[in-house]
Amino acid sequence: MSKGKKIYCIASFAFACAVLILTITLCIINIKDNKTNISYKEENIDWSKYETKEIELTESLTITNPGIYILSGKITGSVTINTSDYVKLILNGVEITNNDGPAIMIENSKKTYIELNENTTNILTDNGNSENDGVIYSKDDLVITGTGTLEIT
């Protein structure tokens, strides 16, 4: 390997290490007892100015307005978010199975928060055969928080 290629490789490695250190600084991950805890920098969002809706899922849901959505129920379908503002989904014992793509699809939002309600188990399943691979697919910022359980297939 020539001297120029060695310098390029070392510089590339140093850059990758710097990016990794920055990423770890912004998002601290702690894996203990088969649980992953991720902390993030909380934004000061005044959720009191947003409307709260409780929805029992019986069919696919498309959210086009910002707000807080408390979801429960069981569907074969999906929850799609398409708004230019903040959205908070509070999963309260949902079971969402989508055979055609992600169970939760975030097409557009300023930031989406998915909160797992305490003492609930939430199950999300997709078939894995979609252009948008993943049981939760987001084109924008996404934060998952809460003390409930999330099972993903």
Give the CA distances from residue 42 to residues 33, 82, 144, 148, in Å, rounded to whole numbers and listed in that order. 25, 22, 12, 19
Q: What is the pLDDT of residue 129?
A: 73
Q: What is the pLDDT of residue 131?
A: 76
d(CA 90, CA 116): 6
Q: What is the pLDDT of residue 19?
A: 44
Q: What is the pLDDT of residue 3?
A: 55
Q: What is the pLDDT of residue 25?
A: 37
Q: What is the pLDDT of residue 127?
A: 80
Give the CA distances from residue 48 to residues 34, 45, 54, 58, 68, in Å, rounded to whole numbers and listed in that order. 35, 9, 15, 27, 9
Residue 24's H or E segment, with its range, is helix 3-26
Q: What is the pLDDT of residue 38?
A: 52
30-60 pLDDT per residue, tens = 444 455 555 555 578 899 999 999 999 999 9
d(CA 147, CA 116): 6
CB 115 within 8 A of CB 87: no
CA 80 to chain centre: 12
Neighbours of 87 (CB within 10 A): 24
Q: What is the pLDDT of residue 30?
A: 42
Spans of the chain, pLDDT less than 50: 5, 8-9, 11, 16-33
